[in-house]
Structure 1
Amino acid sequence: MKRFSCLRRAAALVFVLPFFAACSPATTAPSLAPVAELRPGILQGYLSPQAVPNSLALVSPPPTQGSAAEALDRAINEQVLTLRESPRWQQARRDAELRFPAAADVFSCALDLPINTEQTPQLYRLLRRSLTDAGFATYAAKNHYQRQRPFMVNGQASCTPEQENYLRKDGSFPSGHAALGWAWALILAELAPERQDAILARGRAFGQSRVVCNVHWQSDVLEGRAVGAAAVAALHNNAEFTQAMQAARVELSTLRSAGVTSPGNCASEAQALSDLPDEIPWPANR
C-alpha cells in the first residue's frame, strides 16, 4: 500500500473531522506567526503527508474473533462498564474533549503548570499542531480495519452519547485519542523531565479513558500509543517542531522560576484516575 499521500490525507480528513468535531479557534498570542487551519480550530500539523507515519504498516491487525486477545478486550470492557457514572467515568468524559482551550488542561496537573494562550502560548500551539499529526497518523489503519467500537457491540451507552452517531462511522482501531495523548505525554516529558513520571502516567490514563468511556477496546489503546510514539519520532526530524520545542522549554523554565503552579483541582483529578474496579487486567502489552 502506498504511503499516506496527499489524496489519502484529504480523504482521511473526512473521517477525522468528527474526531475533532466542533472545534472552535482559540486565541493565538500576537507574537506567534499565523498557522494555516485545516478547518476552523484545527491547525495544520508540522509533518508533511509523506512524513506522517503509516499506521497500517506500523501496527498489528486487531484481534481476530475467538482469539485470546479478543477475549481479553471483552473481559476488560465488561469490567470497566462497572465504572459507569463514577468519578473515573466522569474523568473519561472530560478526557474525550479535544477542543481547545479545554484540551490544554489535560496535562496541567501532571506538569504542575498552567497551559494556556496567555502564559504558555508556544506550548499551547505546540500541543494543537502535534494533535493534528498524531491524530492523522492513525487513519491509514482506522480506515482499513473499520473495527466496531465497544458500544456498538455491547449495546451499552458510552460516556459521550452525543458523539456516538459519528463514532459509528469512525474505525476503532487504533485509538486516535490514545495516539495523541501518548504523543503529548512524550513531548511534555521531554520538555519537563523533572515531571516525567507524572506526565507519562497521565498520558497512559488519558488513553485508558477511552476504554472506560466504552468507545475503545484495550488493544485499540495499546496500538494507539505505538502510533503516537511513531508520530513523535517523526516530529523530531522536523526543524519547525524542534524550534517550537525549544521555545516551549523556555516558557516552562520561566514559569517554574517564577514559582507558578497548576491552577487545577489536581487532588480531585488524581482521585478520579485512581478509581478502577478490583482485579482489572490492565496489560502493558497485548
Structure 2
Amino acid sequence: MPAGYLGNNLPDSLLLLPPPPAENSAGFSHDQAVHDAAQALKGTARYTLATADANLHLPHATTAFECALGVPITQADTPRLYQLMQRVMVDAGLGTYTAKNHYKRIRPFVHYNEHTCLAADEAALRGDGSYPSGHTSLGWAWSLVLTDLSPERANALLARGRAFGESRLVCNAHWQSDVLEGRTIGAGVVAQLQSNPTFQADMQAARKEIAAQRTSGKSPGVDCAAEAKALAIKIPGVL
C-alpha cells in the first residue's frame, strides 16, 4: 500500500465533528431504530453486497465502483487510477482517527452482543472506535474523486458512494450517525487534495486511462446486474 497524499495535513475530525449522540438521546434512539431495520436485511442481496463492501483488501476493494464508473478499476487495466484510489484510501481512513481515538464509541455489534458481516474483522473492530466511519469516509471520498474524473456518471458514482457507507449499517459495524459524519471527513479529505500537485497529476493520468478503457469497450469485471438488484433494496429510516 503506498502512502497517502496528505501526510500530516489531514482534516481534524475531532475539530470538524460534533460528539456522537449520547445514549438515551433522540439521536441514539434513531441510531437504534436504523440498526434494527438494517439487521432485518440479513439473507438478502443487500446483505451480500454489504459483505463485499466490508472487504477493503486490494485488489478487491476498488472493484466496488466499477459498475458506477463503467470500466474496470484494476492494476492491470488502469494502474494510475488504481494507485490513486489506494492513496486516497489511506488519507480518507486516517482522517477519521482523531475523533475515533477521542470518543472510542462502541460499535453496534458490540453493544448488542451480535456479529458483523465478516467475523474475521470483529476482533480488530472491537478495539477501533465506531465514530466516524472510516469505510464511509473512504467510499464517499472515492465517489467524489471518481465524479471529478467522470462527471457524466456523477449520479451513479455518488449513489454508490452513499451505498458503500450504508453497507456498514447492514453489516452491523456502525451506527447511522457514524456513517453520516464519515461522509463529512471523506469530503474534507477530497477538499484538501485539490491543492496537492501530485494528486492532480495522478488525476490527469487517471482521466486518460478511463478514456482509453471506454474507447476499448472493456467492461467492468463484476456482476453489475446483481449489484443493481442489491442497491434497489433500501434501509428504512436512513437519513
Q: 1:186 aligns with which of 119, 134, 144?
A: 144
Q: Distance in 1 between matches of 2:110 and 2:217?
A: 48
Q: 1:216 aligns with which of 174, 180, 185?
A: 174
In the TM superposition, 1:1-286 aligns within 5 A as 42-49=1-8, 51-276=9-234, 280-283=236-239
Q: Provide the residue aligned with 1:15 in structure 2.
A: none
Equivalent pairs counted in the alignment come to 239
One-letter identity of the residue aligned with 1:237: S
Q: Distance in 2 between matches of 1:274 and 1:251?
A: 30
Residues 189 and 199 in structure 1, CA contact (< 8 A), matched pair in contact too? yes
Q: Measure how far apart 1:257 and its partner are.
A: 2.1
Residues 99 and 132 in structure 2, CA contact (< 8 A), matched pair in contact too? yes
Moved more, 146-155 or 252-261: 252-261
Q: Distance in 2 between matches of 1:165 and 1:85?
A: 23
Q: Measure how far apart 1:256 and its partner are.
A: 1.4
Q: Distance in 1 between matches of 2:178 and 2:91?
A: 18
Output one character per residue of 1:37-94: Cα deviation in whole Å (capped at 9) or x when no partner: xxxxx32001121x11110001111001211111100000011111112211111110
TM-score by length of 1: 0.82
Q: Measure how far apart 1:272 and its partner are.
A: 1.2
One-letter identity of the residue aligned with 1:72: H
Indicate the structure whose relative CO is greater, using CA pairs within 8 Å and at least 6 residues apart: 2
Task: Detail structure 1 runs of 4+ shifted over 3 Å in the superposition.
Answer: none
One-letter identity of the residue aligned with 1:235: L
Residues 5 and 91 in structure 2, CA contact (< 8 A), matched pair in contact too? yes
Q: Distance in 2 between matches of 1:129 and 1:154?
A: 34
Q: Measure how far apart 1:259 and its partner are.
A: 2.3
Over the residues paired in the alignment, what is the CA RMSD in angstroms?
Answer: 1.0
One-letter identity of the residue aligned with 2:110: M
Secondary structure at 1:117's aligned position in 2?
A: coil
Q: Measure how far apart 1:143 and its partner are.
A: 0.2
Q: Distance in 1 between matches of 2:73 and 2:23?
A: 43
Q: Distance in 2 between matches of 1:220 and 1:175?
A: 5
Q: Which has the higher helix share?
A: 2
One-letter identity of the residue aligned with 2:153: R
Q: Distance in 2 between matches of 1:94 and 1:107?
A: 12
Q: Distance in 1 between matches of 2:95 and 2:206?
A: 23
Residues 83 and 276 in structure 1, CA contact (< 8 A), matched pair in contact too? no
